[in-house]
């Protein structure tokens, strides 16, 4: 009984805290506070940096970043636009970085003769870059031995 009263008190006090911190009918997100019934704050479309030299990795397991725009580059069942330059068959002619050998292994660790299905969707890990302020502060430092 005592416990349930305590829990109730905590619940009430925490909800009071939440409502006072965000104001009535207002939600605060990374885009800033906005009224619930108003359209959410407009996002400024970030411009991808186009065409840099390859970007050095910041930590060992980091998927290399995409140093160019990828607007309109499709990846679907019928073709993968990225691979028309980055596949082992095409990278030399395109002057591109070839995909890692790890991408040929399926989930059982068997090496396939072509890129494995689980590694087919490049943009799940590899992303283009834009010059923007970090959304949250962080104190990340790149690893010196690889940077």
Partner 1 sequence: MNIKSLISKMRSPSSATLGSLLIAGFVSGVIFWGGFNTAMEATNTETFCIGCHEMEANVYQEYKETIHYSNRTGVRATCPDCHVPKPWIHKIVRKIQASNELLHKALGTIDTAEKFEEKRLQLAQNVWRSMKKTDSRECRNCHNYDSMDFAEQQRRAVASHSKGLEEGETCIDCHKGIAHSLPALYEVDPSAVTGSAGH
CB 82 within 8 A of CB 94: no
Instruction: Return d(Cα 96, Cα 33) in angstroms, integer.
Output: 43
Q: Tokens at residue 46, please?
A: 């970030």
Q: Tokens at residue 86, please?
A: 């980055």
Q: Which is nearer to partner 1, 5 or 53 (CB)?
A: 53
- Phi-psi region for residue 8, left (φ > 0), alpha (ψ -120 to 50) or beta? alpha
Does 14 sit near partner 1 (CB under 8 A)? no
The CB-of-43 to partner 1 minimum distance in angstroms stands at 19
Residues 60-119 touching partner 1, rule: CB under 8 A, are 68, 72, 74, 77-81, 83-84, 87-90, 94-95, 113-117
Does 51 sit near partner 1 (CB under 8 A)? yes
Beta bridge partner(s), residue 27: 34
Q: Which is nearer to partner 1, 118 or 147 (CB)?
A: 118
Does 131 sit near partner 1 (CB under 8 A)? no
Q: Which is nearer to partner 1, 57 or 81 (CB)?
A: 81
């Amino acid at each position: 009984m005592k416990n349930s009263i305590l829990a109730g008190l905590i619940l009430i006090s925490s909800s009071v805290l939440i409502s006072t911190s965000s104001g009535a009918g207002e939600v605060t997100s990374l885009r800033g506070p906005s009224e619930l019934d108003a359209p959410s704050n407009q996002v400024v479309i970030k411009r991808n940096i186009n065409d840099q030299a390859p970007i050095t990795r910041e930590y060992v397991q980091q998927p290399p970043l995409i140093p160019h725009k990828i607007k309109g580059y499709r990846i679907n069942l019928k073709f993968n636009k990225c691979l028309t330059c980055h596949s082992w068959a095409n990278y030399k002619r395109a002057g591109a970085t070839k995909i890692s050998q790890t991408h040929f292994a399926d989930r059982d660790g068997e090496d396939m003769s072509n890129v494995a299905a689980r590694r087919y969707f490049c943009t799940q890990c590899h992303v283009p870059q834009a010059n923007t302020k970090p959304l949250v502060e962080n104190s990340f430092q790149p690893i010196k031995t690889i940077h």
